[in-house]
Amino acid sequence: MTSRSFSLLAVLALIAASCSGSSDVTESANEAETSLLVVTTVAPITSIAASIIGDRATIQGIVPEGTNSHTFEPSPSAAEVLSDADVIFINGLQLEEPTKNLALANKQERTPLIELGDQIISPAEYKYDFSFPEDGGKPNPHLWTDPTLVTAYADIILATMLGVDPDGADVYTDNHQRFVSLVADFDVTVAASLDTVPTENRKLVTYHDAYAYFADTYGWTVVGAIQPADFGEPTPSEVVELIEQVRAQDVPAIFGSEVFPSAVLEQIGNETGVRYVDSLRDDDLPGAQGDLEHSWLGLMRFNFITLTEALGGDPSALEAFELVPVDTTTTQFAE
């Protein structure tokens, strides 16, 4: 398993400029703990932000769960939410360009817009694949499926909130410490569980490739993904090519997505005699708002249990890993 390091001091330096001039936000935070509005995009980022921010702010996600975050177009009414925001966190790496553009057009000048992924990895670390070809110019943005990178999400959120709301420093710092410790324990559990999967089975064929960074960290191989860069359906020749890859690689299972249901993957499973599992979740949290599993941790535990079990491993350590509640001041934007 590879490791990555991330300097919180470097993040603080990067954030300082964007958070300057935020004294008026701090003054309003003194009046009421929940007077700050933090706007996020996809649900995993909303959950991670809530784990750090706690009850110091209301956190509102713009991208509804169960939608294609790559093509989601926010309605004009989202502009008002973005204009009221004290902080805006987006994944970046060109995942939510329509939402980013709406935010830039409507946010207050003092409001930092933080593109998390762009600060976590450099262009030299970008992953490209069938769904995200290099000639398309958009790297794979799904950093949150790699727990070792989620610590970096948390570091940047902490540094940002310390600049925006220094009076909440104790809350943010304590929450951050607990969260990164939890993620570190989860990383150990994930690695131990994945090690129970036979080496020859550590191969992924998915509809949408959300696991490129995960695979790099934990030593797995992404054999292929169905969805092309235009988020349509693959051509017949591309399907044939993937069928040949599945057979050549002796892949034991292929994985569909809750957000991207695909008859093509089912066809590939039938053609190859390989088990088809259609329940992986890219950014759609399990359960409902307020449920214990409705969190980034719940999402990734569910996915890693699904992968481990389907590929011949023992998911019992992951099943026993204790979920923790995430602050319920998070809300989802209603169109």
Tens digits of residue pLDDT in 241-283: 888 988 998 999 999 887 667 788 888 888 999 999 988 888 8
Q: What six digits make up the tokens of 286?
A: 């399990």
User: pLDDT tens-digit profile of 41-100?
Assistant: 999 999 999 999 999 999 999 999 888 888 899 988 899 999 999 999 999 999 999 999
pLDDT tens per residue across span 122-138: 999 999 988 888 988 89
212-238 pLDDT per residue, tens: 999 999 999 999 888 777 777 788 888
Is the distance from CB of 36 to CB of 29 less than 8 angstroms?
yes
CA distance 4 to 120: 10
Which homologous superfamily is 8-189+327-332 in? Nitrogenase molybdenum iron protein domain (3.40.50.1980)
Residue 328: its pLDDT value, please?
A: 52
Tens-digit pLDDT profile for residues 304-326:
999 999 999 999 999 999 999 88
Sequential DSSP letters for 298-329: HHHHHHHHHHHHHTT---HHHHHSPP----TT
First to last CA, the chain: 42
pLDDT-derived band at 29 (thresholds 50, 70, 90) equals very low
CB of 145 within 8 A of CB of 95?
A: no
- Supply the DSSP symbol for 237: H
The span from the CA of 138 to the CA of 127, in Å, is 9
The dotted CATH code for 197-320 is 3.40.50.1980
The two three-digit tokens of residue 296, written as one number: 């980034």
Q: What's the confidence (pLDDT) of residue 126?
A: 96
Residue extent(s) of CATH 3.40.50.1980 domains in the chain: 8-189+327-332, 197-320
Q: Model pTM?
A: 0.87
Q: How far apart are CA 122 and CA 16, in angstroms?
A: 20
Tell me the angle at which helices 296-310 and 169-194 cross, rounded to the nearest 10 degrees: 0
10 Å Cβ neighbour count for 203?
22
- Average pLDDT score over residue span 103-107: 97
Tell me whether residue 126 is exposed, middle or buried, using C-beta atoms within 10 angstroms of its C-beta: 0 to 12, 13 to 18, 19 or more.
middle
At residue 330 the predicted structure's pLDDT band, cuts being 50, 70 and 90, is low
